[in-house]
A and B are shown apart, each in its own frame.
Chain A
Amino acid sequence: MPVRFLRNASELADVSWETPLPVQVANAKPVPADTLLVATTTVTTDANRDLLGSTSTELPTLDGCMQYRKLVWFYFRAGADSTTYRVLARATDHNGAPLGTGWQEIVPATTLPGGANSWGRIEIPASSDGYYDQYRIEVQRTAGSNYNLTSKIVGVR
């Protein structure tokens, strides 16, 4: 016995490859991206200075990031002076308090790619998935003069 379905308000149609059942993609979700941060940082020789300019090591650069599988950090650096960056991450409890002090270093001090007036793109984490609650991204100039680093961080679910 053929299986029929109501194709529109008053038409029954046999189920076939030409007239398949109207199905809905219910098991897939789009992955929107959110802009989490846009900031300009003066890159100095200060240790532990994050993209927000803070040297308070317990302060996160980004909070509430649990839903993001990955962060994409876009930047434009005005200077070519040698610079390293470091990425720290940690989880928080239901009240938003970190589970403990300090951070997990997920990217050790690494040379920030690019020359003067150049663009860069760094995925955090580079290979695995994120889902940490808080991140702290630090930049430190290791030679030369101060310069401006303009960053944008997009969270990808």
Chain B
Amino acid sequence: MSAERITRREMLKRLIVAPVGAAALATLPVREASAAALQPHYEPYFVAVLWEGRTRCDSLWRSLKGDVVAILPTVQGATPYDRLYWTGYALGSAPVNVAMRVWARAVDHNGVSLGSGWRLIGQATIQTPPLRWFRVEIPEGHWDEYRIEVRSATTRLVYSRVIASQGYWKE
């Protein structure tokens, strides 16, 4: 990689002297990912971080936020997203054996839940060697609120990041 500082006038002169042909442009090494790095306002709604933080798992069913209040959501405002991804990392020396379950519900225009309780949309046990990453995909999208709960017989810390993605189509 090389770079040099020039004036706009010098740049224009070079472009005029050495125009880039269409055939050459077709093979330039561009990456779609570079759009995110180079645009100050890259479309943020493709993927959003809904929550990140640390959870102390114990024998109680706790939201990733740490509470045991079943009516509280872990994430809100998830209507636009068709998929959620929970990426985590569990501390501790023993193998990870964390039970998890995911609840969801819809709200009305005022943000009030349509009814009481939640719909259970999935449950599983995360089993990995210690100090490993894990990832949970939540494919049932467009619910307004989700509550992600964890429980572990052995107390341990779990670092988490929950992101959500909107679907998109290519024209």
Contacts and interface: CB of A to CB of B under 8 A. Distances in A.
Interface of A: 1, 3-4, 6-7, 10-25, 27-33, 35, 38, 72, 74-78, 117-121, 150-152, 154, 156
A58 B5 CA distance: 70
A25 B35 contact: yes
5 contacts: A11-B3, A12-B3, A12-B5, A21-B29, A152-B107
A31 B34 contact: no
A72 B104 CA distance: 14
Nearest to A33: B80
Interface stretch (B64-72, B92-100, B112-120): B112-120
Q: Give the interface SS of chain B, mostly helix, strand, loop or mixed.
A: loop
A31 B43 CA distance: 12
A40 to B, nearest CB: 9
A3 B1 contact: no
Interface of B: 1-8, 11, 14, 18, 20, 24, 28-32, 34-35, 38-39, 43, 45-46, 79-80, 82, 104-109, 113-119, 140, 142-143, 166-171
Q: Give the interface SS of chain A, mostly helix, strand, loop or mixed.
A: strand
A117 B113 CA distance: 12
Contacts of A13: 1-3
A20 B45 CA distance: 23
The 7 A-B pairs with the shortest beta carbon distances in the complex, nearest first, are A76-B115, A119-B119, A74-B106, A22-B38, A76-B114, A20-B34, A31-B167
B106 A31 contact: no
A35 B34 CA distance: 33
B46 A30 contact: yes
Nearest to A118: B119
Contact of B3 (A7, A25, A150): A7
A33 B34 contact: no
A53 to B, nearest CB: 17
A117 B11 CA distance: 69
Contacts of A21: 28-30, 34
A12 B11 CA distance: 8
Contacts of A28: 168-171
Contacts of B32: 23, 25
B143 A30 contact: no
Given A1-B18, A3-B28, A74-B143, A27 B170 contact: yes
